[in-house]
Amino acid sequence: MPADPSFDALHLAMAAYHKCKFLVTWNCQHLANANKYGHIRRVNNPLGLFVPVLATPSDLLGEKP
């Protein structure tokens, strides 16, 4: 997460709270990052929090870079 992760954390928290199936973002450094997804799952699952699929718009649409 960035030095001030409040916006990213809020974005993720709102998606988890509302049980959104997907969180679509261009933020590949902090949110739509395969390395971060495992960490987010390890934090949220034991707390009983929903974990949305984190994806970029291109991922969601199946576009190739």
- What pLDDT, in 10s, does the model give residues 7-51? 888 989 999 999 999 999 888 887 888 888 888 899 999 999 999
Measured CA to CA, the distance from residue 30 to residue 19 in angstroms comes to 20
SS3 content of the chain, % helix, strand, coil (to 5): 50, 10, 45
Give the model confidence (pLDDT) of 5-19 as tens digits.
678 889 899 999 999
Domain ranges within the chain, ordered by starting residue: 6-61
Whether the Cβ atoms of residue 29 and residue 56 lie closer than 8 Å to each other: no
- CA proximity to 23, closest of 54, 45, 57: 54
- Angle at CA of residue 14, ends 9 and 15, nearest 5°: 100
pTM for the model = 0.75
